[in-house]
Structure 1
Amino acid sequence: MAVTNHQSGTNVHEVADGIYRINTPLVIPGAGGFSFNQYLIVDDEPLLFHTGPRKLFPLVREAVASILPVERLRYIAFSHVEADECGSLNEWLAAAPQSVPVCGAIAAMVSIEDLADRSPRALADGERLSLGSRVVRWYDAPHLPHAWECGFLAEERTGTLFCGDLFTQGGCDLPPITESDILGPSEAFRQEMDYFSHTNNTRALLEHLASAKPTTLACMHGSAWKGDGAALLRALAESLTQ
């Protein structure tokens, strides 16, 4: 793990071949620790998943620049419209002149065509996008865990699912990647702050994600996880639908 900003503790760690987790830990007075993660896929046309909040842009940009020139970024992708997902989208579009937003069709229609300084590449459910030697596939997941436009990307070569707010873990000193239990801690966090919409389609949507057969789950908050991702997604479905 390389620390790219010693004041903030922002750091970079390769969690799968050519896929880097950018992490900024935060101490929230009265609420303990938390963290924000972005993920960079290095390829001919590099993709950043999650922008981070606008106020973290200088730190995330510094971290990306430690891996590749920021202006090389081609795609700025995110799960849904929320500050930690796409708060600094326009800053990234300015920093990387050839880049475009990547999101689901609903997000493009209701928000990003207006909010973003460049029109997005809108992906339909199951649509694949080539980055060069790698391919990512979009999975629609409306209201899972929240937001009508929600969806996720899976990188097929490494079996990495960029699963956004699923499996959110509190704390600011967690390992970059773990094979230990994250369902228990994430469910404990949800009990304290229930950020799920509890859509009636929860089980079917999680089964849809499980069909990707991920072996790495790239969470936006807390550790990334390595193991049988399909089994863990089905265990989450059981917990949510009891």
Structure 2
Amino acid sequence: METRIDEIADGIYRLSTYVPDIAPPAGFTFNQFLVLGDEPLMFHTGLRRMFASNCEALARILPPAKLRWIAFGHFESDECGAMNEWLAAAPQATPAHGQTGCMVSLEDFSTRAPRILADGEVIELGGGKRVRFIDTPHTPHGWDAGVLFEETTGTLMCGDLFTQLGDGPALTANDVVGPAIAAEDMFRYSSLNPAMGTTIRSLACLAPRMLALMHGPSFEGDGASALRALADDYDRRVSDEVAEMLRAAA
């Protein structure tokens, strides 16, 4: 298992592991993001079975013991499965997540007490980096879901939003909405709900210049337009589901 490293924005690194056995023949990538600063932060821990590869890759950038924050999008094995392995490797690190995620999962799962983040709360990482936590309940899934926005580089670490197949480049300016729609059609992984489009459009107000995808290449460009297009597709899906339910009940 190989974990590749790419700097996708100033001081933000993508650690990517490609697994060809998932959704063959295209395969699937699992990505973590390291944000450097006086207090470095890692977003996503990866699966437990990927810890050795991810830790070795991160050590090529900085000693794992220097990590100070470990965050993730929602409670799921690829997002936070290796949390405790990372906490053992980084004795000064603090896990951080939103109130719901801490209350229902992290306070029991983590070997170290987490920092509970309010919606919109900022962690100052130093070195010109600051990350803002944003609650996105049930979007794309999990009532504890949230994202991180690094304000200096305009990088939105958007978790499972825009999930796509394949082992593409680390960074792209090409369409990420079409491949995300195709992945949704295949996996049906999102918790469709009436507020989903509105939640995603609220992220567009951040005007991100970089979308850091957990599954797929990071996107550099007009992140707001991509988010609005994705929101439109989820609105369509919700409308189609409601129409189908009404037809079935008639």
What TM-score comes out, normalization by structure 1 length? 0.95
Q: How far does the alpha carbon of each residue in 1:114-133 deviate from its partner, in whole angstroms, 9 at most, with x for none? A: 10001111111111110012
Measure how far apart 1:186 and its partner are.
1.1
Match of 1:215 in 2: 209
Q: How far does the alpha carbon of each residue in 1:136-186 deviate from its partner, in whole angstroms, 9 at most, with x for none? A: 001100000000000000000000000000001101x20000000111011
Q: How far does the alpha carbon of each residue in 1:184-205 deviate from its partner, in whole angstroms, 9 at most, with x for none? A: 0111111011101012111221
Q: Residue 162 of structure 2: SS of its match in structure 1?
A: coil
Match of 1:240 in 2: 234
RMSD between superposed Cα atoms in Å: 1.0
Runs of 5+ in structure 2 lacking a partner? 237-250
Instruction: Kindly provide the amino acid, as one letter, of the partner of residue 16 in structure 1.
Output: A
Match of 1:124 in 2: 118
Q: Residue 111 of structure 2: SS of its match in structure 1?
A: coil
Match of 1:21 in 2: 14
Identity %: 50
Q: 2:80 aligns with which of 86, 108, 111?
A: 86
Q: 1:109 aligns with which of 103, 107, 111?
A: 103
Q: Distance in 2 between matches of 1:186 and 1:203?
A: 15
Instruction: Kindly provide the amino acid, as one letter, of the partner of residue 143 in structure 1.
Output: H
Q: Which stretch of the first structure deviates more once superposed, 8-17 or 149-158? A: 8-17
Match of 1:197 in 2: 191
Q: How far does the alpha carbon of each residue in 1:12-49 deviate from its partner, in whole angstroms, 9 at most, with x for none? A: 00000000000011111673311100000010000000
Moved over 6 A (4+): none
Name whichever structure is richer in strand by fraction: 1
Q: Distance in 2 between matches of 1:78 and 1:199?
A: 22
Aligned residues: 234
Match of 1:66 in 2: 60
Q: Residue 161 of structure 2: SS of its match in structure 1?
A: coil
Q: 2:152 aligns with which of 136, 154, 157?
A: 157
Check whether the contact 2:176–2:226 (CA below 8 A) recurs between aligned residues.
no
Q: Distance in 2 between matches of 1:34 and 1:129?
A: 31
Q: Distance in 1 between matches of 2:117 and 2:206?
A: 17
What TM-score comes out, normalization by structure 2 length? 0.92
Measure how far apart 1:227 and its partner are.
0.6
2:133 aligned with 1:138, yes or no? yes
Q: 1:31 aligns with which of 24, 33, 43?
A: 24
Check whether the contact 2:168–2:216 (CA below 8 A) recurs between aligned residues.
yes
Match of 1:174 in 2: 168
Q: Distance in 2 between matches of 1:29 and 1:214?
A: 29
Measure how far apart 1:211 and its partner are.
1.7
Tell me: CA distance 1:156–1:207, structure 2 relative to 1, closer, same or farther (3 Å).
same
Match of 1:4 in 2: none
